[in-house]
Structure 1
């Protein structure tokens, strides 16, 4: 009788552990909602124009097409940048919007660590230009790496870094040129999984 109770307890405990681990896996059909805070660091080697860095809130909504592949639409609040250089003292806001395909190498596996890498397209909208400054909106390729550290079935801590090759045409006081902002955005927050 004691062996039967021990065996039952072991099987029950093993079943609970397996069930809780299976619930941690990213699977096809899951919806991932991310939110957090990030810093945008622009290219410091931008000719004679110095572009200031800023921080903002970021977020995205994603859908897992497969255990290992998902698509994500993301964006952010406005990043404010100061622009200084010979004959240039102005400011502009940038607001990136991204469409990414992301690969999760441990998707579908029972892992509390879910790294991912993504590639896609970035659209950067510029607004709030200083008087006399005009910066064109632009499209660019983008890449991203990140990791979710699973806390519960529906909640993870998230960290990421991304790069976009943003080159925007600008004009100011009769002069024109190109702003190679090439932002590296590093941030963290939470991921909700449904």
Structure 2
């Protein structure tokens, strides 16, 4: 009897981790909360004749995704502000910036027979810059529109809960002015890593 009970328990556990675990069906909605890191590409353009270097930034993230078809969702990424320092070659610290990078994506989640649910997505990003500060003068960065692509995976630990890890590349380029004069274009183009808890409703 105990042996049969163990087999039954194991079978039920495997069933929970099969296709039905965290299935993404039409009409489902998921909400994710996590931590994101924005890692600008090396070589962030030339500003005022000097090579710019923009450092990494971290913030809390939130995502909401609505499934318009089975396995196909429209996702909005939002976050608390990311902050970055800007250094210029030969000058050093040249300022700091804050930005918000809301991103709207269409994702395809691959149906699997396991708790692992990989997905791919493509979308559009709008980055708005604010609270720019610089010891050199009045620093301003223009807002940016660009394409965003991502790959990720959910690990389901129930039919409604999952851990998520994903990586994005976002095209972010911004014209920069100092005291009203254009001094170049900041080429940020970051890799964005995010780790989150996701709940399905």
Q: TM-score range by the shorter chain?
A: 0.7 to 0.9
Q: Tell me whether 161-170 or 40-49 shows the greater mean CA deviation.
A: 40-49
Q: Is the 8 A contact 1:84 1:90 kept in 2?
A: yes
Of residues 161, 165, 183 in structure 2, which corresponds to 1:159? 165
Counterpart of 1:142 in structure 2 is: 148
Instruction: Give, in angstroms, the shift of residue 158 of structure 1.
Output: 0.5
Alignment of 1:96 onto 2:101: yes
Cα shift readout 1:72-125 (whole Å, capped 9, x = no counterpart): 01111111111121567111111100010001121xx54311101100000001
Flag as ranges the 4+ runs of structure 1 deviating above 3 A.
Answer: 12-21
Is there any run of 5+ residues in structure 2 with no aligned partner, and where? 46-50
Question: Tell me, what secondary structure is at the counterpart of 1:128?
Answer: strand
Of residues 181, 189, 193 in structure 1, which corresponds to 2:196? 189
Q: Which one has a bigger Cα radius of gyration?
A: 1
Q: Is the 8 A contact 2:22 2:161 kept in 1?
A: no
Provide the TM-score with structure 1 as the length reference.
Answer: 0.86
Of residues 67, 76, 79 in structure 1, which corresponds to 2:70? 67
Report how many residues are paired: 186
Cα shift readout 1:128-182 (whole Å, capped 9, x = no counterpart): 1115001011100000110000001111011010011111011114452100000
Cα shift readout 1:30-72 (whole Å, capped 9, x = no counterpart): 1011110011110211230111111111111001111121100
For residues 26-41 of structure 1, what are the structure 2 equivalents within 5 Å?
26-41=24-39
CA RMSD across the alignment: 2.5
The structure showing larger relative contact order (alpha-carbon pairs under 8 Å, at least 6 residues apart) is 2
Q: Write the distance in 2 (CA, Å) between the matches of 1:17 and 1:39.
A: 34
Q: Write the distance in 2 (CA, Å) between the matches of 1:68 and 1:157.
A: 17
